[in-house]
Amino acid sequence: MSARRVHRLHPALRDDIGDLITQRPLPGRLVEQIDPFLFLNHHGPQTYPPHNRGLPFGPHPHRGFETVTFILAGSLAHRDNAGHESVIHAGGVQWMTAGRGIVHAEVSPRDFLEHGGPVEILQLWVNLPSRLKMSEPAYTGLQRADIPALALDEGKVVLNLIAGEWEGWRGPVQSLTGVFMSTVQMRAGGGIVFGGLTGRNVFLYVARGVVQVGMHADLVSPMHLVELDETGDTVAIRASEDALLVFGHADPIREPVVAHGPFVMTTREEISQAILDYQAGRFGSALG
C-alpha cells in the first residue's frame, strides 16, 4: 500500500447569501472540481436572533446531480414536489437525487423562525454520469441516530458512516454511483487511516479544528479543502486539535461538466433543454 500526498490546500472564500454567512472552497481559484465532487457551500456558523427570516432557499429546481447536506448545527426543513418532507436536526444528513428534475425548498423550521438559534450547514454537490442524469428523483433524510457512529482509535475518533462500507458496516444511503461518504469527529491526538482508494478521487474538507494529512508539513486549518494526488491507496489523518471533517471518495466520471445555475449536464444543449423543461412544468408541480 502507498499513501497519497497532499497536492494543494484550498481555503473557503467568503460569498454571503443575504444575511447568511457563506464560504465556498469548491469550486475555487485553483480547482474547478474533484470529479465527481462539484461544489461545496459552508453556511455559518452563526446565530440567528428571534423573529428572523430564516434560510433563503425557497423553491428552486435541480437536474443532473445529487445534493448531500450536512446539518452541523441547528435544523433544516426539506420539502420537494416528489412528495418528500422532513426536518433534520444537528448531526443529520439530507441526500437528494435530483436526477431528471425536482423542485425543492430548504428552509428553517417554524420554531427557528420564532426563537432563532445556531446554524451551520454544509451542502455538497455530487455529479451523476450521463447515463444516470435522468434518473428518478429521490430523497433520504437521516437524523443523527440513523447514521452508524463507529468509535475508532480508543474512542478518540468517531466515523459517521453515511454511504459505503467500513469494516463490515454499511451506511444507510445506497449511492447510485458507489460513493463513500462520511463525517469524522476527531479528538486531539486521534488518528484514522482510510484505505481502498486505488482509482478513486478523495473529497476531504476540514470543517472545524486542525489536522495533519499524511506526511504533509503544513497543518490543515478549518474551512480548507484538501486536494490529494491521484495515486496511492491510503490517506492518514491525525488531529492536532479537536476536529470535524467530511471525508468521501468515488470513482471519477471523466465526462464534460456543463453547469448553469441549478442544472449540471454534459452539453449546453442539455442545459437549454433543462431550462425549457422546467419552464414548461415538466419537473412536476410547483411548490407553494
Using the predicted structure, report yes or no on whether residue 288 has a pLDDT greater than 80. no
Give the number of residues written for the chain: 288
Mean pLDDT for all residues in the chain: 97
What are the percentages of helix, strand and coil residues in the chain, rounded to 5? 10, 50, 40
The CA-CA-CA angle for residues 171, 85, 178, to 5°, reads 25
- Amino acid occupying residue 107: V
The cell for 138 is 429521490
pLDDT at 271 over 80: yes
What average pLDDT does range 213-235 have in this prediction?
94
Query: Given a cut of 90, is residue 192 above it in pLDDT?
Result: yes
| Banded model confidence at residue 217, pLDDT cuts 50, 70, 90 | confident
Sheet bearing 235-239, strands edge to edge:
191-194, 235-239, 211-213
Range 24-50 average pLDDT: 97
Which residue from 28, 29, 46 is spatially nearest to 37, judged by alpha carbons? 28
Asked if the model's pLDDT at residue 1 lies above 80, the reply is no
- Model confidence at 286, in pLDDT bands (50, 70, 90)? confident
Cα 4 to Cα 265: distance, rounded to the nearest angstrom: 30
- Calculate what percentage of the chain has a pLDDT beyond 90: 96
Confidence at residue 90, expressed as pLDDT on a 0 to 100 scale: 98
Mean pLDDT of 249-259: 98
Number of H helices, E strands in the chain: 2, 25
pLDDT of res. 257: 98
Query: pTM to 2 decimals?
Result: 0.97
Inter-CA distances, 168 with 148, 151, 161, 171, Å: 12, 14, 11, 10
Q: Mean pLDDT over residues 263-272, rounded?
A: 98
Judged by phi (left if over 0) then psi (alpha if -120 to 50, else beta), residue 113 lies in alpha
Half-sphere exposure at residue 265, Cβ-oriented, CA atoms within 13 angstroms: 17
As a whole number of angstroms, the distance between CA 259 and CA 261 comes to: 6
274 φ, ψ to 5°?
A: -60, -45
Output the CA–CA distances (angstroms, integers) from residue 171 to 22, 35, 86, 159, 235, in the order listed. Answer: 28, 21, 20, 11, 20
